[in-house]
Amino acid sequence: MAEVSARPQNELTPPHALTAEQALTQYEADAALGLTQQQAQERLAVHGANALPAAEKDSAVVRFLRHLNDVLIYVLLGAAALTAVLQHWIDTIVILAVVLINAVVGFLQEGRAERALEGIREMLSPSAAARRDGQWQTVPAGDLVPGDIVRLRAGDRVPADLRLTEAQELNIEESALTGESVPAQKSAAPVSPEAPLGDRSCLAFSGTMATSGAGQGVVVGTGSQAEIGRISTMMSEVESLQTPLTRQIAAFGRWLALAVVVMTLVLVLVGMFAHGTDTGELLQAAASFAVAAIPEGLPALITITLALGVQAMARRKAITRRLPAVQTLGSVTVICSDKTGTLTKNEMTVAAAALADRELTVTGTGYAPEGEVHDDAARVDLQDPALRRLTEAMSIANDTQLIETDGRWGISGEPTEGALQAFAAKVGFDPAGVKRTATLPFSSDNKLMATAAETDGGPRVLVKGAPDRLLDRAAAQMGPDGAAPLDRAYWEAQVERLSAQGLRVLAAAERDGSAGDAELLTLDSLEELTFLGVVGIVDPPREAAITAIETCHDAGISVKMITGDHVGTASAIAAQMGIDGGAGAVSGHELEQADDAELRRLAETHNVFARTSPEHKLRLVKAMQAEGEVVAMTGDGVNDAPALRRADVGVAMGVKGTEVTKESAEIVLADDDFTTIEAAVEEGRRIYDNLRKAIVFLLPTNGAQSAVVLFAVALGWTLPLTPLQVLWANMVTAVTLAFAFAFEPAEPGVMRRRPRDPAKGLVELRHMVQIGVVSLLIAAATIAVFQWRIAVGDDLESARTLATTVLVVCQAFYLFNVKALESSSLRPAVLGSSRVAWGCVAGLTVLQLLFIYAAPLQALFESQPLSPEHLAVVTGAGVVVFLVTELIKLALHGRKTRVVRSARPRGADL
């Protein structure tokens, strides 16, 4: 037999487009005999094992060292080297500890992609029932090859991609691949070559689970050639992007390193050639300047601020797996969300019904039997004969039960049937007291289920199923006055009306029972039925999610639905939730046909994408990023994993999400609720604001110290601060005042402004101007006080103690300037709103008093006690800095408003 391996699998005609016989021929398989052991071994040698390739891993040492390859780390190591040269070993140890902690955290976080790939491998079945040498055998799933004949039973995990040749009521749970909320019905009939993944009903995919029925098929894809293998390959090839925060910190670190090196050289040259400064004194000045310019506390500040943000998000049901993702959420411009379970409840619900003479609406959502049925006039219940007959048929011809556990309603059975039982409970009907005598089970070929039962009206045969199948078997309809001639056109119009609303439509019919029905129901006996009515079923939107989407739009964030569901259903739900915007839905087939330029246009102008595959989701994320968007992508299935890894922020569902998805994401939602994403975005914006405030606050400390050293060298003056005093000022402000911003509440209107432009720096030009001016202001106050005290005869140690204290106290006053970064701080809401800020000031005061008066610190830092007059001067300098800074803020920001236009869906009326 010629081997199928002679032609690559991806060059063959798509197996779902072949008949079962053609598939057996193309893969050179024999349904009756299967492969011989020799054939299986030969094909295994060509195709390889039915397993996913293991991810290549660097050694632990290489992965750890990679986390030291960062400009900001180089700056910190430079600071450690300088402090070591000055023999300030405590500072050296502290700085190296910061470097080590950052590297260890990064090392532990690395490998998420490898763990995600491992999660995919764990989805594969360990064994399979395959026909070899004419007999059914249990073989390791890893030994399966194209052309093997494999048998499936309910409860089996599909061991490889199969082209089904037989299917007896076979249903397979494949939501992890397709996003479908209910098990897929399988058959052996071929489908179109262009059929999207969710419509390939003749294929069974590796890693999915057979929930009912039985089937048989020929293996058409193994290992990396199977659908789950293609996803694994995509994940290994997807490049994870840096977050805006890491990019901005890296850019800041590069500019800072360059500036420190250049200015240190300038300082040395000026001192050497302009003033002939002694080499030893000049090196001390250079070391003082370099230490002053490097914000040693910044990495720890960023880490702690993000860590506190992680805790705050966890309280809001969003668990963060990577620290920078907290801040990235604050820059998100687009949220791409799955539909089922995230925007919707993932609980099927009867939303509408139609009888022969009127249309009904049903309130209440989910499986809880809470709600009512209304017509145009009033509530209706079992007193209405037509509604009672419809309800009885839907509830009795039904194998699902409602279950209440700890006050929460669920089902034991199939979701659609669960919706019908909840509908019956709302009407007031309980099927428990009805005796069923015979049942014709649901068939994917017949698309109906029938039950013979003893009801209050006598023996009846009750049928539910697809409306067209029941209409074909009906001769009459139930009207307000009893049976009447069937008006098929009316019912087809009702089905079309409900379907246009995105509802799944089921019908019910009945006939009088007979003695033979109690023993056996057959399809042929279901004739001359009386059509009772139709119901429309939907997975209803989460009410809170609609409000959350409105909030996102107000925040300038576009929300896009990307789902594996059908176009009609997706469009209807999107319209209800305010997502569509009138542009309509784009199908997976349209995405398939679009080139990159057209795809970017579709991604920009449309908000609903249906019947999508993993490749479509990944391409959409890339297209949006190419348009400059910062994308958050949500998902729960393996099919979402590549897009989650590529997105700026991947958000996995914690309840129904697969382990693969969770490992691929930065954020995991503990409640699978879209409102949690909106809350996380708000928290991300708060954290971003607070990080910016902390940096705008912290840098003037370094700027002022650097300016003091530069001016002293340039003018040939004695240094007002020693290197150790510089480190003291850096340390006490970094470990006390700066961390006040980690606890700052969100700014008013934080969710009514545009997302931050990721191309902009962490601090903008106006903030840099403020940093520069305040740095010079504090430096001027420090130098002025130092020179004044030297002029009046104070000794050098006393003057330097006073100068150091001025520097520290001015930062304490400046803290309250920055609490309201772009508005006035002369308000009770700012000055008295934060107990944390005042606690930090109190802590700083205690430390500075120890610096001034404690003998051990006096000996270490060469400080001297200060008089009350000195302390009054210090306080006056802080007040002046505070007031002048308020004037600077007014000049820079004025009455700048932070509220922006709403980012309604494109195409909507604004």
pLDDT digits (tens, 9 = 90+) for 728-737: 887 788 767 8
Q: What percent of the chain has pLDDT over 70?
A: 82
Residue 236, pLDDT > 70, answer no
Residue 156, pLDDT > 80, answer yes
Residue 237, pLDDT > 70, answer no
Contacts of 435 (CB under 8 A, 6+ apart): 453, 454
Contact 529, 511 (CB under 8 A): yes
Looking at residue 429, its pLDDT comes to: 92
Region of poorest pLDDT, from 2-16, 19-33, 303-317, 601-615: 2-16
Contacts of 262 (CB under 8 A, 6+ apart): none
Q: Which of 105-109, 399-403, 634-638 has the highest mean pLDDT?
A: 399-403
Residue 800, pLDDT > 80, answer yes
Predicted confidence (pLDDT) per residue in 323-339, tens digit:
667 767 778 899 998 87
The CA-CA-CA angle for residues 62, 65, 69, to 5°, reads 125
pLDDT confidence band for 286 (50 / 70 / 90): low
pLDDT confidence band for 3 (50 / 70 / 90): very low
Predicted confidence (pLDDT) per residue in 541-589, tens digit:
888 888 888 888 988 899 999 887 778 888 888 888 888 767 788 988 8
pLDDT confidence band for 903 (50 / 70 / 90): very low
338 is a catalytic site residue: yes
Q: Looking at the DSSP assignment, which residues form a beta bridge with residue 617? A: none
Looking at residue 899, its pLDDT comes to: 36
Give the dihedral sign, CA 141/143/145/148. Answer: negative
Looking at residue 613, its pLDDT comes to: 81
Token reading at 600: 């970017």
Measured CA to CA, the distance from residue 272 to residue 268 in angstroms comes to: 6
Predicted confidence (pLDDT) per residue in 877-900, tens digit:
999 999 999 998 888 876 543 333
More confident residue, 244 or 782: 782
pLDDT confidence band for 764 (50 / 70 / 90): confident
Looking at residue 584, its pLDDT comes to: 83
Predicted confidence (pLDDT) per residue in 191-216, tens digit:
988 888 888 999 999 888 888 888 99
| Amino acid letter, residue 707 | A
pLDDT confidence band for 474 (50 / 70 / 90): very high
pLDDT confidence band for 471 (50 / 70 / 90): very high
Region of poorest pLDDT, from 235-244, 356-365, 458-467, 609-618: 235-244
The DSSP bridge pattern shows strands 161-173 and 482-485 to be unpaired
Measured CA to CA, the distance from residue 391 to residue 420 in angstroms comes to: 8
More confident residue, 568 or 799: 799
Looking at residue 100, its pLDDT comes to: 77
Looking at residue 22, its pLDDT comes to: 92
Looking at residue 57, its pLDDT comes to: 60
Looking at residue 806, its pLDDT comes to: 92
Residue with tokens 């990235």: 328
| Amino acid letter, residue 303 | T
Residues 143, 148, 161, 338: which is the catalytic one? 338
Looking at residue 291, its pLDDT comes to: 64
Measured CA to CA, the distance from residue 567 to residue 572 in angstroms comes to: 9
Pairs from 617-625 (Cβ < 8 Å, separation ≥ 24): 617/336, 617/562, 617/642, 617/643, 618/234, 618/238, 618/642, 618/643, 618/646, 619/591, 620/336, 620/560, 620/562, 620/591, 621/336, 621/646, 621/647, 622/646, 623/596, 623/599, 624/334, 624/336, 625/241
* Summary mean pLDDT of the chain: 81
Strand, helix or coil for residue 759: coil
Contact 630, 685 (CB under 8 A): no
Predicted confidence (pLDDT) per residue in 113-140, tens digit:
344 444 444 544 577 889 998 899 989 8
pLDDT confidence band for 680 (50 / 70 / 90): confident
Token reading at 240: 């994870």
Measured CA to CA, the distance from residue 269 to residue 767 in angstroms comes to: 30
Residue 786, pLDDT > 60, answer yes
Provide φ and ψ at 829, rounded to 5°: -60, -25
| Amino acid letter, residue 686 | R
Report pTM.
Answer: 0.67
Q: What percent of the chain has pLDDT over 90?
A: 26
pLDDT confidence band for 904 (50 / 70 / 90): very low
The DSSP bridge pattern shows strands 608-610 and 558-562 to be parallel
Looking at residue 260, its pLDDT comes to: 73
Region of poorest pLDDT, from 1-15, 333-347, 464-478, 833-847: 1-15
Contacts of 840 (CB under 8 A, 6+ apart): 736, 737, 739, 740, 815
Residue with tokens 């995509």: 234
Three-state secondary structure string covering 379-394 = EECCCCHHHHHHHHHH
Looking at residue 837, its pLDDT comes to: 85
Strand, helix or coil for residue 803: helix
Residue 774, pLDDT > 80, answer yes
Strand, helix or coil for residue 414: coil
Measured CA to CA, the distance from residue 562 to residue 395 in angstroms comes to: 34
More confident residue, 617 or 1: 617
Measured CA to CA, the distance from residue 298 to residue 698 in angstroms comes to: 8
More confident residue, 289 or 746: 746
pLDDT (mean) for 511-523: 83
Contact 386, 478 (CB under 8 A): yes
Provide φ and ψ at 25, rounded to 5°: -70, -45
Please give the distance of CA 415 from its chain centroid, rounded to a whole number.
26
Looking at residue 277, its pLDDT comes to: 66
